[in-house]
Amino acid sequence: MSSIGSSMMNQNEELYLARSKFDSYDDLLRNVRAFYYAKGNGISIRDSRKDKYVTLQCALSGVYKEKPEKKRKRCTEKKQKKSTGSRLTNCPFQISGKKGSDGLWVLSPINLTHNHEPTTDMSGHPSSRRLPPEDVQTVKHMTLSGIPPRQRVSCFNTSFYSGFVFLEKEDEENYTWAITAFKNILGQGNHPSVIVTDRELALMNVIENEFPTTSLLCVWHIEKNVVANCKKLFKRSEDYDMFMLSWNNVVYSTTETLFEKNWGEFTLLRSLSTKIGSLLANSLCNH
Ligand SMILES: [Zn+2]
């Protein structure tokens, strides 16, 4: 189990770096910090030009430098205790971010090796102060799931446009108007058998009200079912995390080859429990 686990976590990091795209420099920074925070590593900026590139490094890179005598004397005892300098390990970890011609920021690895163990308690970590606490759980889950925070699965390869609409706001009132207009175009008694959405809760509520017999195919709903039914089958939370990581790798596979590979790994984990296999089949059928 543990060797499968660690290879998955590495693959997860590489996938994250390869697949993620960010709207802006700030967006990249926030997400990368959150991703590595969840892995137990702080990230700091080594070098950057705000509209072009950024080089990020492990927060433990660099070595402790003695402060000049004069300055050190001025430091209060409290300040010296807070100093992170003595913890530096000259860690070689570095990744770079670049703004592409499409205006989106992408990541590439420079050196993914750390020369120290990840920190399990990040509360005292210098970079943890920059992460809003409400993000931590979400990010931890996304990290385990292999879902880059900004990445969404496009449905355009497998479905088609029935119409376009410009909305002032993405709220239930606006969605109700749009879905009702769509319903009128289809005519009475006609309704789609399947609608695919992302996890847009307002839209999903409206679809459920307006098209009660239509199947709403939503990754979020499937995952909710998997979480609700499968978690209790695992005695150890690490096993459950590994199961969810593997499951999400399957769901978010971007190519057929990757899907086959992820499915293979998932089947291996799933075969450890027949109960999980049958629950998963039910979960997929219900949504
Ligand atoms: Zn490091």
Identify the pLDDT of residue 4: 39
Task: Give the separation between CA 150 and CA 131, rounded to whole angstroms.
Answer: 16
Instruction: Report the run of H or E that residue 94 belongs to, with start and end.
Output: strand 94-99
User: Ligand 1: distance of its center to the CA of 164 in Å?
Assistant: 47
Task: Give the separation between CA 156 and CA 284, rounded to whole angstroms.
Answer: 21
Identify the pLDDT of residue 239: 75
Predicted confidence pLDDT, tens digits, the chain (287 residues): 333 344 445 557 887 788 788 888 888 888 888 778 777 788 889 999 878 999 999 988 887 665 555 555 554 444 444 444 457 888 999 999 999 998 999 999 999 999 988 775 544 444 444 444 444 444 444 444 444 433 333 344 444 566 778 888 888 999 999 988 888 888 887 777 777 776 677 888 888 888 887 766 666 666 667 777 777 777 777 777 777 777 777 777 777 788 888 888 877 776 666 566 665 655 554 43
User: Ligand 1: distance of its center to the CA of 196 in Å?
Assistant: 41
User: Ligand 1: distance of its center to the CA of 91 in Å?
Assistant: 5
**Cα 235 versus chain centre, distance:** 25
User: Ligand 1: distance of its center to the CA of 60 in Å?
Assistant: 5
Inter-helix orientation angle 133-145/237-251, to 10°: 70
- Mapped to the 3 state alphabet, what secondary structure does 28-77 carry? HHHHHHHHHHHHCCCEEEEEEECCCEEEEEECCCCCCCCCCHHHHHHCCH
User: Ligand 1: distance of its center to the CA of 44 in Å?
Assistant: 10
Identify the pLDDT of residue 221: 63
User: Ligand 1: distance of its center to the CA of 135 in Å?
Assistant: 22
